[in-house]
């Protein structure tokens, strides 16, 4: 695992702290390294489905964000080209879940990342893979 400088971590954290959708879903960056990240998200009533488990769209947003943060750690501003996700198990309301993401390909114009979502007991809830297109460099403070 490659470490990022404290300044770079703070800059990336600041970008995602200002993201309104990340705030809405109450996502939080727990760990951040070059090419790897861990995000958490509480499963609360507003993001559940009829069965009181996390809606698939909320899980998809979590893994998309986690993979995007991992890609951004290379100093690249990216947008999602495609993503697939397998839903394995439901995330219960009241649970805080975590997405573990890592970049598996860091190309000049595209990156490929993978992510797993787990509950507090380590159960696999979802697995995803995405392709991201480089659109520039993040505007950092």
Per the confidence metrics, is the pTM higher than 0.85? yes
CA 92/CA 8 separation, integer angstroms: 34
Kindly give the confidence (pLDDT) of every residue in the chain, 141 residues in length, as a single tens digit, with 9 standing for 90 and above: 566 667 777 777 777 778 889 899 999 999 999 999 999 999 999 999 999 999 999 999 999 999 999 999 998 999 999 999 999 999 999 999 999 999 999 999 999 999 999 999 999 999 999 999 999 886 655
Residue 93 lies in a domain: yes
Residue 23 lies in a domain: yes
Provide φ and ψ at 27, rounded to 5°.
-75, 150
Residue 1 lies in a domain: no
Residue 101 lies in a domain: yes
* Number of structural domains in the chain: 1
The whole domain housing 99 covers 6-135
Q: Is residue 114 packed enough to be buried (19+ CB in 10 Å), middle (13-18) or exposed (0-12)? A: middle
Residue 141 lies in a domain: no
Residue 83 lies in a domain: yes
* CATH code of 40's domain: 3.10.129.10
């Amino acid at each position: 695992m490659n470490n990022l400088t404290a300044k770079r971590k703070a800059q990336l954290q600041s970008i995602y702290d200002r993201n309104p959708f990340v705030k809405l879903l109450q996502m939080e960056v727990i760990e951040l390294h070059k090419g790897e990240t861990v995000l958490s998200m509480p499963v609360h009533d507003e993001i559940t489905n009829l069965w009181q488990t996390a809606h698939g769209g909320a899980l998809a947003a979590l893994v998309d964000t986690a993979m995007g943060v991992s890609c951004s750690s290379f100093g690249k501003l990216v947008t999602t080209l495609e993503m697939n996700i397998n839903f394995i198990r439901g995330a219960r309301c009241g649970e805080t879940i975590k997405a573990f993401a890592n970049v598996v390909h860091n190309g000049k114009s595209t990156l490929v990342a993978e992510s797993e979502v787990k509950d507090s007991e380590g159960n696999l809830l979802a697995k995803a893979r995405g392709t991201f297109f480089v659109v520039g460099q993040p505007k950092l403070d």
